[in-house]
Amino acid sequence: MKVGVCKKRRKKEREINSDKIISRREALSTAAKVAISAVIAGVVAGVGGYFAGSATAPGKTVTVRETKTETVTMGAATTVTTTVTATPKVSKPFQGVKLTMAMFEGPAVTEGFRIHYPKWAERSGAEIEFVTMGFADIYPKIMQDLTSGAGRFDVILYPYDYMGDFAPYLLPLDDYVRKSPELAWRDILRHELRQATWGGKIIAVPYDGDYMGLFYRKDILTNPDYRAEFKKKYGYELPVPPRTLDQLIDVAEFFNGWDVDGDGKVEYGTIVEGTRAADFCLIYYVSNWMAPYAVMPSPPAKYPGIFWFDPETMEPLINSPGHVRGLEKYIEVMKRGCSPGVFEATRSDVLSNITNGNVVLGIDWHDIIMVVESSKEPLKTKHKMGCAITPGSTEYWDRLQQKWVKVEGVHYVPCLSFGGWFMSITKTCKNPDAAFDWIAFTASPEIHGYDITQYYGNAPVRYSEIFNPDVELFKKTGWTEEALWDWLNNQVIPTHLNPNAVLDINIPGMAEYMDAFNVNVERAIKGQLSPKDALDEVASEWEKITEKRGRDKQLKYYRAALGLPTD
């Protein structure tokens, strides 16, 4: 083909295609027009949506006046009768309101929300978006929302231990709580009330009253042949249940590493958490062993339940001889009364081994008995699990006189480990009335009294729940009446009414204090440090944390958490 023809063809092609080719200027101009149009459309849609959402049809107003008389039994001897005039009720008073609630994914603890939510939504007219998260994500995700001011969450369900860090961002609830007949505030257990208060203000409503207790196989410990052998070996009657930690170690050792129930599998004495892993729980397990040796009864102590810091100086108490003795006993039971795998056991291992009957006894949260009694699976521990307060000691360290003091009987110091779950309203919530209505509904005696009977394991937070539970509901879930009263009378009531019960650390910096404890205690467990050296390291790190955050501030928070005067 001739060159001239090629050139002409190319020129003609350019002319044809020039209609399709656009210049750079035109391309940018078109793109800008599209972008601007999209933005305008988005703004219009957004504004329209805003106005549409905020235009709510007013609910029907129905005025109801009624006078209610509440009779609340507090403890065994006191009956309080109050007369409350109900405020006028409006049908669907929160029509169109949307709330967001951050909570643990469950089903433990939170299944009740899903079950009861439709009833509340029907009566209130509001909606709730439940944002669930894994346990390890609760603190960072909620903390990020609170500190960034994003305001995504209106209601949060969180562990007591996080209260100190969350408190500045939470709405005080005093007015709501005291004026809510549905919540029946005076029915809530004393220790739970203490935990719900921060700096003299009520900032939370308790939803799950966590504590740790002892669970044991009644059928194994009452076996006459085993009892005879135990007495021969140890020189005293096999205690049912063990009352002291020394007795627990002996019992665990006796039943360790053989088939105790004839099922063809080897069982072990007990199990504890042996590694700090990623679940923070080591501190809870170890503190239950330390408390009976480390906590002075009050009197002679000025204040009850002092375990972590000196309430006058904020000096760490964690390396006292009492605490060291507790850690030594913890390591002793791991070596004498547990399987070799205990050194890598996490919380889920402890829970599953106790409920499945792979160990004869163990200290853990109340979830154990909830699972055992209401499980649909054929657990060999069903209806065979006994409950008791965590074992105590026969002596404690008197930090005032700097000496060991022997007691007559047993010195019990239960720990309200983990502190339980609490609900609060964030300061960024735009509808606190609706939010509190939801909280009062779920925490009410009627609803919560139902939840504690179910498999998802909410622990009692009310006097009515421990003294006057709905026995029939428990039985419908699979409990026997004998198991229920054994649990309440021998574990829950003695724990919650014990004046020396230890509350968790929940002051700001809780995570740092706990991390320092877990890291160094694990080093002691794994033999890298002696118990004394490990706890000295803990005390040293705690001092640095306290200094960095301000000793006076931390002391004030700690005293506020204990319910002590802060002036």
Q: Can you give the binding site for other proteins, defined by CB under 8 A?
A: 24, 28, 139-140, 143, 146-147, 164-166, 168, 275-278, 339-341, 343-344, 508-509, 511-512, 515, 519-520, 522-523, 525-526, 528-529, 549-550, 553
Q: Which CB atom, from 129 or from 259, has the smaller least distance to other proteins? A: 259
Q: Which CB atom, from 98 or from 523, has the smaller least distance to other proteins? A: 523
Q: Which CB atom, from 169 or from 211, has the smaller least distance to other proteins? A: 169
Q: Which CB atom, from 10 or from 548, has the smaller least distance to other proteins? A: 548
CB 165, min distance to other proteins, A: 3
Structure tokens at 258: 């053989």
Q: Which CB atom, from 165 or from 208, has the smaller least distance to other proteins? A: 165
CB 511, min distance to other proteins, A: 5
Nearest to 369 by CA among 391, 384, 359: 384
Q: Which CB atom, from 70 or from 533, has the smaller least distance to other proteins? A: 533
Which are the contacts of 237, defined by CB distance < 8 A and separation ≥ 6? Answer: 227, 230, 231
Chain-centroid distance, C-alpha 499: 21
Q: Which CB atom, from 73 or from 356, has the smaller least distance to other proteins? A: 356
Structure tokens at 565: 């005067």
CA atoms of 11 and 14, how far apart (whole Å) = 5
The Cβ of residue 456 has, within 10 Å, a number of other Cβ atoms equal to 21
CB 419, min distance to other proteins, A: 17
Peptide bond into 297 cis (omega under 30): no
Q: Which CB atom, from 361 or from 447, has the smaller least distance to other proteins? A: 361
Nearest to 61 by CA among 93, 29, 34: 93
CB 436, min distance to other proteins, A: 24
The Cβ of residue 177 has, within 10 Å, a number of other Cβ atoms equal to 21
CB 338, min distance to other proteins, A: 10
Which are the contacts of 66, defined by CB distance < 8 A and separation ≥ 6? Answer: 85, 86
CB 229, min distance to other proteins, A: 25
CB 97 within 8 A of CB 434: yes
Residue 143 exposed, middle or buried by CB count within 10 Å (0-12, 13-18, 19+):
middle
Which are the contacts of 550, defined by CB distance < 8 A and separation ≥ 6? Answer: none
Structure tokens at 218: 């009644």
Compute φ and ψ for 500, nearest 5 degrees. Answer: -95, 10
CB 103, min distance to other proteins, A: 19
CB 424, min distance to other proteins, A: 15
